[in-house]
Amino acid sequence: MNLALTSDFPSTANQSVVERMRASSSRPRIAWIPPFTVMGRKRFPAAQALFESYGFSALDYCDIDEEPNVAQLARLDQHDVVYMIGGDPLGFRRKIIRARLDAGLRQYLAAGGLIVAASGGSTQFTKNVSLYLVLTVPLDKVDMNRSEYEALGVVNY
Instruction: Specify the pTM.
Output: 0.94
Domain definitions of the chain by residue range: 3-149
d(CA 157, CA 145): 19
Q: What angle do CA 9, 132, 118 make, to 5 degrees?
A: 10
d(CA 57, CA 41): 17
Q: What is the pLDDT of residue 141?
A: 86
pLDDT digits (tens, 9 = 90+) for 91-106: 999 999 999 999 999 9
Spelled out in words, what is the top-level CATH class assigned to the domain 3-149?
alpha beta
Q: Give the distance from CA 34 to its chain's centroid.
A: 7
pLDDT digits (tens, 9 = 90+) for 30-71: 999 999 999 999 999 999 999 999 999 999 999 999 999 999
- Measured from the Cβ of residue 3, the count of other Cβ atoms closer than 10 Å reads 17
Pairing of strands 3-6, 81-84: unpaired
> CA of 57: how far to CAs of 14, 49, 88, 124, in Å?
18, 8, 27, 26
